[in-house]
Structure 1
Amino acid sequence: MADKIDMEEEKASNGEALSNGLGNPKKRSPESMSERVKRIVRSNLLVILTVAGVIIGVFIGLGVRNAELNRTQIIYIGFPGELLIRLLKMIIIPLVVCSLVSGAASIDPKALGKLGGWAMLFFLVTTLIASSIGVVMAFIVSPGSVPLGKPNVEGLEEDVPQAKEVTDSFLDLIRNIFPSNLVSAAFQSYATSYKVIKKNSTDGTLNITEEKVPIGTDQHGMNILGLVVFAIVFGIALRKLGEEGEILIKFFNSFNEATMVLVSWIMWYAPIGIMFLVAGKIVEMENVALLFASLGKYIACCIVGHIIHGVFVLPAIYFVITRKNPYTFLWGIFTALATAFGTSSSSATLPLMMKCVEEKNGVSKQISRFILPIGATVNMDGAALFQCVASVFIAQLNDTSLNFIQVITILVTATASSVGAAGIPAGGVLTLAIILEAVGLPTNDISLILAVDWIVDRSCTVLNVEGDAFGAGILQFFVDRTAKQQEDTELSEIRLGGEPSAAVPEHSPLIEKRGLGDTAKA
């Protein structure tokens, strides 16, 4: 009888709730929809501000172009953007060194080697795919097969990097892996130049022979590859010390966390900086019509190749491996991608990328802070693709037919040389000379590439950092799957009647997580 009364009271209360509109989803939907919109805006506010910054920057640049500003005024317009680049570059060294030391010290050496191996395999395969797309796109579009009305590239010829032997280029890469001075590696890297030495013949004749001798020089630009290798080895050494190394490991962990706090502050300035970076670059352009008319097919070939690789190939690889929506993952790193477009530097984008993949895409700190600095150094999908397009483009300009061996040489050299490409604006152009030398093409035409590098390099950088992020996401999937397999193995041993205390503690979260606490106790 009491139960019946309770049921009637419950029905009455439910009916009252429905009459008040509390239980009617149609009446509640406007309020829930507005709350949902507010929640989405709040959670994606930085992305919205960044996209708005890019769009507003384009309109500002187009509007100010007609004002015929002088060079000084253009520099003033780009000043807020310059501040953003300086802020990001300021924390690159502490972030890279501290994150890699703490990451290498916190991961088991066996897992470290396995993670590093999977990461390098992913980076190598995707870079090779990007190079192949670049070569195929260049042969299909044939950007250099038509008569070229060359734009004004006066002053760019002196920026063309000096041609180097392929052997010397790879030796420089190895030398930079082992810097002789860690302090100078923060702002200088090793590069080979040549000195011509004249020798008189020893047989008494007046014959004079010339020998081009490689001479080591220091060039401006951070040797981030050497810093990465040192930080990883140093982290492994600290872990090897055991308890004696814990103090330093905690120091680097704290330093790393403090750096990420600085990054979170800088992120809110990024939309303003990106807006003025884009506006300043648009105002800086001189004859846009001639530039795009003469080099439009080359620009389109590079950008379409980047879109194919970034929108289809990388997401497809991620989906096949993880069975997760890759475009949700892309949305999570959109702020970092927009920053990459604005700054044109994968190294400068690294701090924001770490923040995005950890907070939006659920990548652990150990994975992101170990893999992303390595990816920013060695994974250059965009640079490899653009270098292949540029090589075929220059060959077509000079009416040079590339045979199969030369095409393979371009693929392999672009994939290998992209590892040494600096993560700075126009870093890929510096290694383009290596590919041209390898297949016997003139390096003078690099001045044409430099004329439009400001736009191509931005899409290169976006693709580079996107590949780094997908690499971190795939490694996180492998780590989670391995942990789940180990967990299932331990739980199956418990179910089979083993000693619970031998496998896991009685109140282990591993058991409680699976809801098997009572079973274990029984």
Structure 2
Amino acid sequence: MTNHVEVPMADGPHISLEALPKPCLDKYCGWLMRNLLLTLTIVGVILGSLFGSLLRLLPPLDSDLIMLISFPGDILMRMLKMLILPLVISSLISGLAGLDAKSSGRMGTRAMVYYMSTTVVAAILGVILVLSIHPGNPKLKKSPTVTTRNEEVSSLDAFLDLIRNLFPENLVQACFQQIQTVTTKIPVPPVVVRKENVSQIVHASGSVLNTTITEVNVGPSTVTQKQLEFKAGMNVLGLIGFFIAFGICMGKMGEQAKPMADFFNILNEIIMKLVSMIMWYSPFGIASLICGKIAGIKDLEMVARQLGMYMVTVIVGLVIHGAMVLPLIFFVITRQNPFLFYAGIFQAWITALGTASSAGTLPVTFRCLEENLKIDKRVTRFVLPIGATINMDGTALYEAVAAIFIAQMNSIHLDGGQIATVSLTATLASVGAASIPSAGLVTMLLILTAVGLPTQDISLLIAVDWLLDRMRTSINVVGDSFGAGIVHFLSQKELALIDGRGEELEIDPTTLKLQALANHQEGSIGSGYTVLPSQDEEELPEKMDAASQYSEKDEEEPDEEEEEKKKEEE
């Protein structure tokens, strides 16, 4: 309603003037205050990039100074990783305990179909872009590079390690170690095949010369030997597999498992409150991480000159996948505005951009989806931990581009079968990649070995991996969030049915009957009566149609009760 101000005039009528509107500055300041944490995070990213660029203008910084600059960011990463294990455990168990086996199976199937489909699309998009732009240049091989150890990685070993980690032999050990097949080369000594003594008479002197003839089979100098070793790092896949089974079994136990479910619900709420406290420190930590990374680059101009087109190819692919493909899939399925969804998860996206860890961003993603977008906690707690482990759209695109880029750099022509192998292997390798920083470089060995490309050229990509790792991690988090939104939309009927069953089991106070006790005393209102559920209520049917029948019976019951009261008074 428009406010008016009446100004009295000395010799004339009153004149009505409209009040001046509020300044736009107040409106924007109000938005900034309501979204203070998001505003501070964006400011931290900008200031970190600015100060990092300014530090590059100074003489080369000492490694200790760079470490001190990055130290606050290191503390942030440690705090976020500290919460991963209790958050994954509590979220999975509390989410699955509120679902029945059928509903959780359907939600899991939908999530897996979405995750695998988007990962395949991302890998194919990366292949199309790298073949179209052709960033690889053989002249890059002439530049001096840092050599790395040429590790041999077998596709079969990587697949078997994935299955082994899914079933950990020690649950406590899985919290800080995971198993891996390690290939070592053992030197083999030469083998003596034949050895005999020969006597020879020297004619000049008549003496006898004894000699020994030895026949040696040289053979291979080394033998490859495989063995299983434990490497440092949380076995997230094994923990998720165990606690999914734990939550499903606990959900089948019903009321008997309610104390355990309440415990994990409370634990999840405590972890989320800790996340809220840590997030107020995140702007400073993210600024520190970005500033330290930019200041620590050795030769930025040479890196940009060598790998500029490679970076452009990866970034363009990530932007297309994150800004076009994923929103289009979300809109086609849900018919909702995907950019409003983006606004709700912007805090998680900017955090992933700063920390380069989808698992470390998991607490923030929970908070954005549940508080900003109001997605059911049973969906987020079940879908997000799985997505943070196996949904790596950005990693699949990055690895497909990097593999073909290395082939182009070595002037190696890949046929259709090899390109298809790159796409398939990039998809599978991204699923097995741990949700930790720079895991894509580790799984890159698997793709290069599968196609027969030189693995030592990975050293070229390390110089720009700090930036691309943040970009692809942010797309991974966006894909996880869109997946949770799609699964929530498709699972609304199952969730409503579960909520409806819970309401049916509650006792309706309008259907309670008053039954007289033998020792009741007159003179007090309601004395001598106890409230008991009617016989019809004890046999409540599971179908919702029976509610109307109970309402009709309840309308007839008051007449019978009045007659009983009259008889007792007489």
> Which interval holds the TM-score relative to the shorter structure?
0.7 to 0.9
Match of 2:406 in 1: 394
Give the CA deviation at 1:398. 1.3
What corresponds to 1:30 in structure 2? 21
Asked if residue 467 in structure 1 is aligned to residue 479 in structure 2, the reply is: yes
Aligned partner (choices 131, 146, 152) of residue 123 of structure 2: 131
In structure 2, the partner of 1:316 is 328
Alignment of 1:132-151 (within 5 A): 132-148=124-140
Q: Which residue of 2 aligns with 1:41?
A: 32
CA contact (8 A) 2:103 2:494 kept: no
Where 2:224 maps in the other structure, the secondary structure is strand
Choose which of 145, 170, 173 in structure 1 pairs with 2:162.
Answer: 173
**SS of residue paired to 2:234:** coil
Q: Once the 2 structures are TM-superposed, how far is the Cα of residue 202 of structure 1 from its aligned partner?
A: 12
User: Does the residue aligned with 2:440 lie in a helix, a strand or coil?
Assistant: helix
Equivalents in 2 of 1:185, 1:504: separation in Å? 55
Partner SS state of residue 143, structure 1: coil
Whole-angstrom CA distance in 2 between matches of 1:460 and 1:220:
23
Deviates further, 30-39 or 78-87: 30-39
Measure the CA separation in 1 of the matches of 2:380 and 2:292: 32
Output the amino acid matched with 1:173.
L
Give the structure 1 partner of residue 41 of structure 2: 50
Instruction: Quickly say closer, same or farther: Cα 1:282–1:201, change in 2 above 3 A.
Output: same
Corresponding residue for residue 93 of structure 1: 85
Q: 1:20 to 1:270 in 2, by over 3 A?
A: farther
Which of 260, 274, 296 is the equivalent residue of 1:284? 296
Structure 1 residues 77 and 19, CA, compared in 2 at 3 Å: closer, same or farther?
A: closer
**Kept in 2: contact 1:336–1:356 (CA 8 A):** yes
Find the counterpart in structure 2 of residue 404 from structure 1: 416
Instruction: Report deviation, 1:31.
Output: 3.2
CA contact (8 A) 1:151 1:291 kept: no
What displacement does 1:67 show? 2.6
Structure-2 separation of matches of 1:465 and 1:29: 45
* 1:452 counterpart SS class: helix
Q: Could you tell me whether the CA contact under 8 Å between 2:180 and 2:228 is conserved in 1?
A: yes
Q: Distance in 1 between matches of 2:553 and 2:99?
A: 27
Unaligned runs of 5+ in 2: 8-16, 195-215, 504-543, 555-570
Q: Distance in 1 between matches of 2:116 and 2:284?
A: 35
Matched-pair contact (CA < 8 Å) for 2:70–2:291: yes
Q: Is 1:450 aligned to 2:462, yes or no?
A: yes
1:195 aligns with 2:184: yes
Which structure has the highest helix share of the two? 1
* Distance in 2 (alpha carbons) for counterparts of 1:505 and 1:457: 65
Q: Secondary structure at the match of 1:469?
A: helix
The reply on whether 1:108 has 2:100 as its aligned counterpart is: yes
> RMSD of aligned C-alpha atoms?
2.9
CA 1:58–1:498: 2 relative to 1, 3 Å: closer
Change (3 A) 1:459 1:29: farther
**What SS class does the counterpart of residue 423 from structure 1 fall into?**
coil
Q: Which amino acid aligns with 1:119?
A: A
Could you say which structure has the higher strand fraction? 2
Note the 1:181-220 alignment, pairs <5 A: 181-196=170-185, 198=188, 206=217, 208=219, 211-220=223-232
Please tell me whether residue 75 in structure 1 is matched to residue 67 in structure 2.
yes
Contact 1:95/1:351, CA 8 A, preserved across alignment: yes
Q: Could you tell me how far 1:221 is from its partner in structure 2? A: 1.5
Deviation at 1:20, TM superposition (A): 5.9
Q: 1:143 to 1:502 in 2, by over 3 A?
A: farther
Of 337, 354, 379, 1:325 maps to 337
Contact preservation (8 Å) 2:388, 2:435? yes
Q: Which letter maps to 2:465? A: D
Alignment of 1:198-277 (within 5 A): 198=188, 206=217, 208=219, 211-277=223-289
In the alignment, is the contact (CA less than 8 A) between 1:190 and 1:216 conserved in 2?
Answer: yes
Report how far residue 242 of structure 1 moved.
2.8
Equivalent in the alignment of 1:500 = 547
1:452-486 CA deviation, whole Å, 9 max, x = no partner?
11111111101100000000111111123555799
Q: What is the rounded CA distance, in whole Å, between the counterparts of 1:273 and 1:304 in structure 2?
A: 28
Computing the radius of gyration from Cα coordinates, the structure with the larger value is: 2
**Residue 122 (structure 1) aligns with:** 114
SS in 2 for 1:218: strand
Aligned to 2:55: 64
Greater shift in the superposed pair: 357-366 or 458-467:
357-366
DSSP 3-state at the match of 2:436: coil
Q: Name the SS of the counterpart of 2:160 in structure 1.
A: helix
Aligned to 2:359: 347
Change (3 A) 1:174 1:487: closer
**Equivalent position SS for 1:67:** coil
Q: Aligned partners of 1:504 and 1:187: how far apart in 2?
A: 58
**Cα contact 1:98–1:231 (8 A) shared by 2:** no
Give secondary structure in 2 for the equivalent of 1:346: coil
CA contact (8 A) 2:100 2:252 kept: no
Indicate how the Cα distance of structure 1 residues 347 and 206 shifts in structure 2: closer, same or farther if over 3 A, else same: same
d(CA) in 2 for partners of 1:310 and 1:219? 33
Q: Give the Cα separation in 1 of the matches to 2:493 and 2:551.
A: 20
Question: Structure 1: how far apart are the matches of 2:418 and 2:234?
Answer: 32
| DSSP-derived class of the 2:361 partner | helix
CA spacing shift, 1:304–1:29, aligned 2, 3 Å: farther
The secondary structure found in structure 1 opposite 2:360 is helix
The answer on whether the counterparts of 1:77 and 1:279 sit within 8 Å (CA) in structure 2 is yes
**Deviation at residue 145 of structure 1 after TM alignment:** 3.3
Indicate the SS of the match to 2:231: strand
Q: What is the CA–CA distance in structure 2 between the aligned matches of 1:505 and 1:264, rounded to whole Å? A: 51
